[in-house]
Amino acid sequence: MTGAVVGRSASGIDIVLPSGFVSNRHAQLQPRGERLEVRDLKSCNGTYLRRERVNGSGFVNDGDTLAFADVEFQVEADAKDGDTNDALCQATAVGMESFDGHWTLSNFARLIQERLVKPVVQPIVEIGSHRVIGQESLARSSVPGLETPAKMFEAAELLNKAAVLSEICRINAIEAARDLPPGQRLFLNTHPAERLREDVLHSVHAIRRRLPSLLLVIEVHEDLIGELAETRTFSRELAAMGAELALDDFGAGRSRINEVLRLRPAFVKFDRSMICNIDRAPAAELRAMKSLVDLLDSLSIRCIAEGIERRAEAVTCQRLGFELAQGFYYAHPSPFPGFRRSDETQVVKPTKAPRRNSETKEYDVLVDL
């Protein structure tokens, strides 16, 4: 391959990047023997190789990050038939419009290498008494562009590192969980990219070695119950280590109640999409929900209503038979420790959460169930 010019203008440009920060003729990529050279063409906002501005030119290595103004790439060599001279690159591009910060890929590498994920917790409470029965570990970071779990895992999935990130989140949570009050469970998330027995069980074994008495709940996404035999085996192996299984995001995707009943997890977490504005749902929908909750309860499966933000939602969920709840109405996520170790019985006081829209009236339950 001969050289390729990178820029914003379509005229005479080989690689067009639709960003207002990229110059019309921004940079040139040129194979030099078995190596790839990048040359900045006096761009306004710069060409960056391995997060350092290129003054003149520089050579790109396999796996490097390469940015033209605010559009960043991770470069992988793509030699075909042994002809490295014809290999420019396969590149994963991330337009910065989808992130709040720059250098997302470079920052993600630093996030992983330095394990900069900070665990926070959000309580899970008994819906009637508000007594805390456990804490779900969530993740935050101060790395620009990667502050929330959604941003972290968006970058991780682009780089096929979601399983690695998920394991780091669990490891960091365990480091902070020593102060968890006696009797409270720690709920830990998994990612669909992880293999339950090979990846997740390995983490659980490590947790058990460090904190053998910790009450542990492992959350798996509802999509994984499609592989019912494997998930049931995973559940039995968890139980053998004194840990419990929770089915997360129930109702967000292809919920199959027969498989849930055969799996018999200790907890089923109803997705926030099923809970949002539930106090305003039609009577028939509420009756169906109550029947489902009652069925799971009859099998000793504890139902958790996720994403409760208003009192009316909490009241409705209690009338539907939910035993447990979680959401901003009870508490926002807080850093470890969001509690005192002496709090053997912890009760949260519901907060007045910000409204999710411009409505001014908060409705109580209007439908008899």
Six token digits for residue 10: 């379509």
Residue with tokens 């659980």: 204
pLDDT at 75: 78
Residue with tokens 């009870």: 330
Domain 115-335 sits in which CATH superfamily? Answer: EAL domain (3.20.20.450)
Question: Which of 357, 319, 330, 273 minimizes the C-alpha distance to 131?
Answer: 330
pLDDT at 197: 87
Report phi then psi at 354, rounded to 5: -60, 140
pLDDT at 318: 97
- Mean pLDDT per 10-residue interval, the chain, length 369 residues: 80 84 90 89 88 90 84 66 41 42 67 90 94 94 88 83 93 83 91 90 91 93 78 94 94 76 94 96 96 96 97 97 97 74 65 45 36
Domains in the chain: boundaries: 4-98, 115-335
Q: What is 4-98's CATH number?
A: 2.60.200.20
- 258-265: long-range contacts, CB 8 A cutoff, minimum separation 24: 259/225, 259/226, 259/228, 260/222, 260/225, 260/296, 260/301, 261/295, 261/299, 262/228, 262/232, 263/225, 263/228, 263/231, 263/232, 263/235, 264/235, 264/299, 264/301, 265/235, 265/301
Contact in structure between 205 and 240 (CB atoms under 8 Å):
no
